[in-house]
Amino acid sequence: MQINGSTVLLTGASGGLGQAIARELARRGAPLVLTARNEAVLSELAEEVGGEVVVADLSRRADVDALCDRMADVDVLVCNAGVGGDGHQTEVSPDRIDTVLDVNLRAPMQLSNAFARARIASGRAGQIVMVGSVAGLVAAANTSLYNATKFGLRGFTLAIRQDYAVHDIGVTHLAPGFIHTAGMFADNDMELPPLVRARSPRDVAAAVAGAITNNPAEAWVIPPELRATATLATIAPGLSERLQRAMGIADMTRDR
């Protein structure tokens, strides 16, 4: 799908990844609908790149409903918002479970369904990009909620890709790994294990643009060695667990 002239609704636009995505898409000529909770940051970003500001908290269902009502003239939906940092599962409160499920999984489901209904009704093509995580393929200690929602988001995304293809609506799952200066690991000041490399927010933004224009089923924003490790984890989770233990991953996530 062509980016230039296509209206993009971007969730999580106030964060580091969201701002990088907004700047990249604006540079390519996309009118933007920027949404997140932080109105001050959104307004500053909108002044820089242009676009409409819609303040919304994706843990509030009324806010998600309002965004769904905004889909009529949206050509591309980029679901980038997410929360993490859940800690050991025995320490997670029911309210925290609800929040993470609502933001990371329920909101993208509802928004993408509303977007698809609007596109089908109009008879126009569209594109959905779900920004997931390599945590949707590799489970780790002390990130159970984050893993659960990202595993679920990946499955949902790859399924609706098949559902919507007949309507000329593309769907891509984007799986970033460790990102320096932005994202869950940067937000929690976590140090990466030895020999593990990070990518940049601009890399993620470029991958989002590529997903919109090329409609791959999945795009990974990780270095080759991490992709190999992630692939191994999908076919040999027990071995992945032992490797993570040897690398001290559990200690790293516990101390964040």
Higher pLDDT: 119 or 235? It is 119
Whole-model pTM: value is 0.89
pLDDT single digits (tens) 162-215? 999 999 999 999 999 888 766 555 455 556 665 567 789 999 999 999 999 999
CB atoms within 10 A of CB 246: 9
- Conformational region of residue 87, where left means phi above 0, alpha means psi within -120 to 50, and beta covers everything else: left
Contacts of 153 (CB under 8 A, 6+ apart): 104, 105, 108, 130, 132, 136, 173
Closest among 231, 140, 151 to 192, alpha carbons compared: 140
Let me know if 164 is a catalytic residue: no
| Residues 181, 200 contacting (CB under 8 angstroms) | yes
**What tokens appear for 106 in the block?**
């329920």
Catalytic: which of 146, 156, 178, 185?
146
Q: How far is 25 from 129, CA to CA, in rounded Å?
A: 13
| Residues 132, 173 contacting (CB under 8 angstroms) | yes
From the candidate CATH numbers 1.10.8.290, 3.40.50.300, 3.30.9.10, 3.40.50.720, the one assigned to the domain spanning 8-254: 3.40.50.720
| Residues 232, 225 contacting (CB under 8 angstroms) | no
Q: How far is 29 from 224, CA to CA, in rounded Å?
A: 31
Helix (H, G, I), strand (E, B) or coil at 35: strand
CB atoms within 10 A of CB 160: 18
Quick one: which H or E segment has residue 55? strand 52-55
| Residues 75, 7 contacting (CB under 8 angstroms) | yes
Q: How far is 66 from 1, CA to CA, in rounded Å?
A: 26
Q: How large a percentage of the chain has pLDDT more than 90?
A: 69
Q: How far is 156 from 29, CA to CA, in rounded Å?
A: 29
Q: How far is 15 from 41, CA to CA, in rounded Å?
A: 9
Average pLDDT for residues 62-70, to the nearest whole number? 98
Q: What is the dihedral of CA 72, 152, 202, 67, to 10 degrees?
A: 20
pLDDT at residue 50 greater than cutoff 80: yes
Lowest mean pLDDT among 27-36, 38-47, 82-91: 82-91
Write down the pLDDT at residue 34. Answer: 98
Write down the pLDDT at residue 255. Answer: 45
CB atoms within 10 A of CB 207: 23
Lowest mean pLDDT among 145-159, 192-206, 212-226: 192-206
Task: Kindly list the distances between the CA atom of residue 221 and the CA atoms of 36, 208, 226, in Å, as whole numbers in the listed order.
Answer: 23, 10, 10
